[in-house]
Amino acid sequence: MTGEARRPHTGRRRNEAARRAILDVAVDLLGRPGDTPVTIDTIAAAAGVGKQTIYRWWPSKGAVLLEAMAEHAGTAIPVPDTGTLRGDLEAFLTATFRAAGERLTATVLRHSMAEAQRDPHAREQMRALIETRRRVLRGILERGRERGEVSAGSDLDLMVDQAYGVLWYRILTGHAPLDDAQAAELARALSAQAG
């Protein structure tokens, strides 16, 4: 990631390779051990890019981090269809916890959420990303309701928040792990409370 082959100039059009380098470097720096500073200057330097090239395309540092996070954590979690609510939940939550619990990803998520609390641009991107994720899980619950596995009185949004709440709470405080066992148990608990 440090000074090798020169990036070809693309003249009047946006340099896509530079964009990639910036986003990749942002994630890479966040993952470095110790308290490596992740600043606009270090990102620009490591990506071999001028600061203006960053600010020409992103409104703030937080916006860069959030987009980097969205791409890094954007591994599409497949929407399962096992035939039962519990099965679907277990598959979805296991994949989700596994992705979010991975060390680098967890670090990126932590910093992104922190940044979203102070940078309005980042906050907006975070809200959109959160909303997208919530909708997917809510869809799984709605299918369960149509099958009669979720009682009519259940608050689906609250159930969604119980799942993602556990995820974020643990990522931010680090008091407990996010692993397959926890995902399975959460799936069991949620489907039990739904009936």
Partner DNA sequence: CCTTTATCGAGACCAATCGTCTCGACAAGT
Partner DNA sequence: ACTTGTCGAGACGATTGGTCTCGATAAAGG
What is the binding site for DNA (CB under 7 A)? 7-15, 18-19, 37-41, 48-53, 55-57, 60-62, 119
> How long, in residues, is the chain?
195
Binding status of residue 134 toward its own copies by CB under 8 A: yes
Of 31 and 48, nearer to its own copies (C-beta) is 31
Contact residue for its own copies among 53, 111, 125, 144 (CB under 8 A): 111
Site track for its own copies across 150-169, x = CB under 8 A = ----xx-xxx-xx-xxxxxx
Q: Token pair for residue 124?
A: 């907006």
Residue 170 near which of DNA, its own copies, none (CB within 5-8 Å, type-dependent): its own copies
* Whole-number Cα distances in Å, 39 to 36, 65, 111, 122, 176: 9, 10, 12, 15, 29
Closer to its own copies by CB, 54 or 190: give it.
190
Tell me how crowded residue 119 is: count the other CB atoms within 10 A of its CB: 20
Question: CA angle 170-107-169, nearest 5°?
Answer: 15
Residue type, 151: S
